[in-house]
Chains A and B, each alone.
Chain A
């Protein structure tokens, strides 16, 4: 079954509809992340927001980035954050526990930031910008990655390794039992060890 060329009744292009739906999902999810009282729900809405963004990447002709978004953000980071939430056992609480007393100022700053960005974006004539989306081929990205960006690529791998080691070190318990540690009743110098029951 072939879809009509435009969205029925509205007359929009399908792309525009999908864009709007995805944008709404992403912004709504984002708002729920920052406004929700239950932090676990915040985390789940963050996954929604990330997923919508992955869709937008597809609209932008970057399917590789979309795939990475799903893998890294949804698959890795979101899960990591959800684990951290579970570990710190945060529960939903009254708004004074959720929100800082300076939240009104934060809201003001955020609105101001949004207004400025919108104004700037609208009134700026982006030089060299095409009128439509140019899809970036995966082969092109791959070529760039292993030629121009090979050093950055390797540096990122080192960074990730450092992050793994640092994360392990920071989160490790100080009093974790050392398997090589001796028993508590260690005899001190000059005193004979207590006779042991050799059964």
Chain B
């Protein structure tokens, strides 16, 4: 068989060859950003964009590929944040190790939650994830001490300053944090790309496409969705740890509230769920929008930024049901073809 000599047809995945190259260029440009500006507010905003892109990518790893909407992912973020902070303040364990421990704990929690919940379909799954996340949040808000750890309920935890130290995840300026979250995002997207081309990716897409047919072929939906759920929870928890270390403060509302869960889902959906780069695009659009509307309108019209958020979501669902990435990609491919007619 000379399969390799058969010419690729028009619908061959363009992203397959050019995608990684393009991603590398974007990554290098992003890495060069601090050379252009050192402005603290700007770097802070960039870190927030990357943070949300990372969280949305972690969410997408499960929900985008399985086609189930989770609105409870913030509980994993909270778990990662609390575990790493508590291990640091109680035992002086480096947050780098603490975030791994938090990630593993979140992965274990996801399996416990996922096993019964994945039998539920559509809105029932979503409602259950909200319920679990709210139970965890309300419990943390009302618990002062647990197993000897001082959680301090709704008050939250402050990470004590120990001075600049890599091991303690504390740095002088914001730029090191920028590079850390950029690296985490790059790894998360890489993990998604690898998963897409692996057995796990094929099986998840099959389950999303037609659950009954997948089962008839002998694919066990529970096994593959749980694997993806655990990886997604692990990644989310790492993000939650980062958030806690970056602000040196953590509380149930910010680190495991419903708003964070919704943000993760919205950015994925608007960018393009089930694609490796969609969540990044979604975060690039929505995070600045949220910052600007909150900054300029939040003071005078309380809650207006949420209204604008909602309108953007409606427009996206109406006009770009598969997310913004796909039409953008088609546009780019179209321009490329016009300049290089085959």
Q: Are A and B part of the same complex?
A: no
Q: B residues touching A (Cβ–Cβ < 8 Å)?
A: none
Tell me the A residues contacting B by CB distance below 8 Å.
none
